[in-house]
Amino acid sequence: MRLVFAGTPEFARQALQAILQAGHQVVGVLTQPDRPSGRGMKLQASPVKLAALEADIPVLQPRSLRLDGKFPDAAQDAQARLRAWAPEVMVVAAYGLILPQWVLDLPRLGCLNIHASLLPRWRGAAPIQRAIEAGDAASGVTIMQMDAGLDTGAMLLRVERPLAVDETGASLHDGLAQDGAQAIVQVLASLRSGEHLVAVPQPDQGVTYADKLLKTESALDFSLPAEALARRVRAFDPFPGTTMVLPGFDQPVKVWAAHSLTNVGNATVGAAPGTILHLAPEGIDVVTGEGILRVTALQKPGGRRQPVDVFMQSYRR
């Protein structure tokens, strides 16, 4: 099929490469403008842009697509380019810009979105992390016919993936990226063959929203239950990460692995949340609002991730 692809991060890059490998004609790519990154804060191209350039596909990086917005010239240029490309369909995956109605209406078959959740649960910006944080038993991807709402379009395909007990934001991202790539290729194959796909409206029940991840959420709030904190540690790996304060450091240290302890008896009686009960090679035990959180992997400011036994060898309080 003749299509335009809109996406930015690694999650989207895998879908673009799968579409190309399936033999579709990607006539253009939309992606976010290059951003400063790394210690030198040099401009970095997105993973999707790099993949597009490698495949010799024209790339467009508008700051906005709203004709009546802050950057009307950029939007008008994008409109002209998209009309010239004349796609049958647009595939969207973690693009990062809102698509106005003129974009949704431009392709003959509309715009298809690869969303990393089982809609209508976890509409919004951070469905992967919020699913783990909430303790969901499963996640998945939904291929959706886009409309003007926030992830409200009718569903063409849903693929479920159970969550492992040790699932992290990184591992779930990688699994869902593969699932999403396979799912969009399946949907495009059906469209190309002329098969009628039934678009199922999302139910009104079960709607939740995945708020954008904020660095201010990184600090662990030990008034919460230990199990909730352990889920947050896993969900926020690798971004934005979680932190705690340890004696001997003038900055918070990062926490990369932790689990809740069961059968703790009276160990926490009289101890305020955040109290460190135990410092040992097997873990750093911290009192929480409910139970004990055992921290098992950390990172010193300016250092690398370390298992707690290695961390403890050089820890001076």
**For 244-301, what is the HEC assignment?**
ECCCCCCCCEEEEEEEEECCCCCCCCCCCCCCEEEEECCEEEEECCECEEEEEEEECC
For residue 133, the model assigns a pLDDT of: 98
Sequence-separated (6 or more) residues with CB below 8 Å from residue 316? 248
- Enumerate residue ranges in the chain where pLDDT < 70: 317
Q: According to CATH, where is 3.40.50.170 located in the chain?
A: 2-210
For residue 40, the model assigns a pLDDT of: 76
- Taking the C-alpha atoms of residue 21 and residue 311, their distance in angstroms, rounded to an integer, is 45
Query: Which three-class secondary structure state does DSSP give residue 5?
Result: strand
Query: Which three-class secondary structure state does DSSP give residue 165?
Result: coil
The tens digit of pLDDT for each residue in 130-159 reads 999 999 999 999 999 999 999 999 999 999
Q: According to CATH, where is 3.10.25.10 located in the chain?
A: 215-313
For residue 217, the model assigns a pLDDT of: 95
For residue 311, the model assigns a pLDDT of: 94
Beta strand 123-124 with 209-210 is parallel
Surface-to-core class of residue 290, CB atoms within 10 Å of its CB (0-12 exposed, 13-18 middle, 19+ buried) = middle
Angle between helices 10-21 and 47-54 (to 10 degrees): 30
How far, in whole angstroms, is CA 66 from its chain's centroid?
A: 24
If you classify domain 2-210 with CATH, what class do you get?
Answer: alpha beta
For residue 182, the model assigns a pLDDT of: 98
- Taking the C-alpha atoms of residue 226 and residue 294, their distance in angstroms, rounded to an integer, is 9
The tens digit of pLDDT for each residue in 99-132 reads 999 999 999 999 999 999 999 999 999 999 999 9
- CATH superfamily placement of domain 215-313: Formyl transferase, C-terminal domain (3.10.25.10)
Whether omega before 238 lies within 30 degrees of 0, making that bond cis, reads: yes
In the block, which residue shows the tokens 């038993």?
Answer: 137
Taking alpha carbons only, the member of 290, 237, 299, 219 closest to residue 260 is 290
Q: Which amino acid is at 234?
A: R
